[in-house]
Structure 1
């Protein structure tokens, strides 16, 4: 939920409402936390744009249900395009355009003036060329993450270099990917340090940086990074947990108990 909140730029309350309304059905992970797929994130982003275009909620749910069935496990870089047309939802795949609810093909002369933003199923509306290319590369990195770590790394780095604005998600995912690879935590630390020059008050970046520092044996620096993460977000349960374990290793039983108790309060 925290990662999705940062990605979509909306409040936890809005995301919870969209889930409760049936726009997506996330699974449950460790400690009963919600886990969203790539398609879930895409559909939620699309739902937000369609609601902004004043499409009735019932019609949005019906349209996204059909779109979800049509989404492949791995989206092509070209993606598919969703738009609000009058009070309806239209989907374009290549040269074809069809009504998202009825499945009926639409001809160009049947299409009214588009109302609101057009949404690409690549996390956002049409953007400048650099932004769109960056998101295409980021999406490719997500697809390659489990099967080709080297290819995913190159795709994330390409997304960061092409994006006209600091690309938060690409920084985070590249750093995490590198830290998961053997002997790449130093490279991951460089990525997190670069990201923090753009997002200095992001708790997740400080948390991930602490993990990289801990893996490098820099325990004092890791402790400071965990502390900084908790200064920004005192409800970050995993930061409390990791810091408790680290303080135990460093011979601080009081710190261990303090953060372990905080972790238990947040997860029970």
Structure 2
């Protein structure tokens, strides 16, 4: 079924790629992960991937591969001298985890099916949601991974992905020296959502962190024009106007902030 000879299977078991259990007649019982490892190892070696890289890639993949089939499917393949993993339309290096096997797994009525052809187009909106959720999960543990996931969600989504724009921009602005990148994200988002007060507020914060106080003031004012009850915008604008020596503006917006929060 796998196209792997008994000799190759025995060799891969002996090398520790897979650890099957034994049935009542001493036959091998392979898990889903074992099957993936067997087919993948064979294809990677056929593509002349060095054994060391094969071992590193498959060891990491075995640990991370879920017991249940992922919704977007899995492909493992050789890309040059590297081992690439693909879920849906997303691809990354199996060893380093960097976003970038030809083995693919798909789910059909609960069965495991091996496909030799390219995958059929998936629901891009669903894939985008999966990447966004991954970004949310990585946000506290892997900032680089979270950034890649948010960007992937934006790229895949057939419609402008508002939440991904907001969270990616906020993530970048929280990181040292990335406010300029955050500003680019907010600018693109505002092309799609020009009347969104929160995006103007976030863009104002990015401008302020970059020292562009005039642009920050303009963005805060645009935010308040769209949503006069945006308390945080009143507060931030009051503090900004104090820096710029506008005491009258400071008092006016600080009083508005106090009315809205008491």
**TM-score bin, normalised by smaller chain:** 0.5 to 0.7
Give the length in aligned residue pairs: 147
Question: Residue 140 of structure 2 aligns to a residue in which SS?
Answer: coil
Question: Residue 233 of structure 2 aligns to a residue in which SS?
Answer: helix
Quick check: 1:179–1:188 contact (8 Å CA) kept in 2?
yes
Structure 2 counterpart of 1:189, from 169, 180, 183: 183
Query: Shift of the alpha carbon at 1:251?
Result: 0.2
Structure 1 counterpart of 2:151, from 147, 152, 157: 157
Structure 2 counterpart of 1:255, from 215, 226, 249: 249
Map of 1:218 onto structure 2:
212
Q: Provide the TM-score with structure 1 as the length reference.
A: 0.53
Structure 1, unpaired ranges of 5+: 1-75, 80-93, 96-127
* Residues in 2 aligned to 1:236 and 1:139: alpha-carbon distance in whole angstroms: 28
* Residues in 2 aligned to 1:167 and 1:223: alpha-carbon distance in whole angstroms: 26
Q: Which has the higher contact order (CA 8 A, sep 6+)?
A: 1
Query: Shift of the alpha carbon at 1:78?
Result: 5.0
Query: Shift of the alpha carbon at 1:77?
Result: 7.2
1:20-65 per-residue CA deviation (whole Å, 9 max, x = no partner) reads: xxxxxxxxxxxxxxxxxxxxxxxxxxxxxxxxxxxxxxxxxxxxxx
Quick check: 1:77–1:139 contact (8 Å CA) kept in 2?
no
Corresponding position: 1:168 with 2:174: no
1:117-146 per-residue CA deviation (whole Å, 9 max, x = no partner) reads: xxxxxxxxxxx7000000000000000001
Map of 2:200 onto structure 1:
206
Query: Shift of the alpha carbon at 1:267?
Result: 0.1
* Residues in 1 aligned to 2:188 and 2:195: alpha-carbon distance in whole angstroms: 13
Corresponding position: 1:177 with 2:171: yes
Question: Residue 182 of structure 1 aligns to a residue in which SS?
Answer: coil
Map of 2:103 onto structure 1:
none
Map of 2:134 onto structure 1:
140
Structure 2 counterpart of 1:238, from 232, 236, 256: 232
Structure 2, unpaired ranges of 5+: 1-68, 73-108, 111-121
Query: Shift of the alpha carbon at 1:189?
Result: 0.1
Computing the radius of gyration from Cα coordinates, the structure with the larger value is 2
* Residues in 1 aligned to 2:144 and 2:71: alpha-carbon distance in whole angstroms: 22
Q: Provide the TM-score with structure 2 as the length reference.
A: 0.54
* Residues in 2 aligned to 1:232 and 1:132: alpha-carbon distance in whole angstroms: 31
Are the structure 2 counterparts of residues 253 and 141 from structure 1 closer, same or farther at C-alpha, using a change threshold of 3 Å? same
* Residues in 2 aligned to 1:242 and 1:201: alpha-carbon distance in whole angstroms: 20
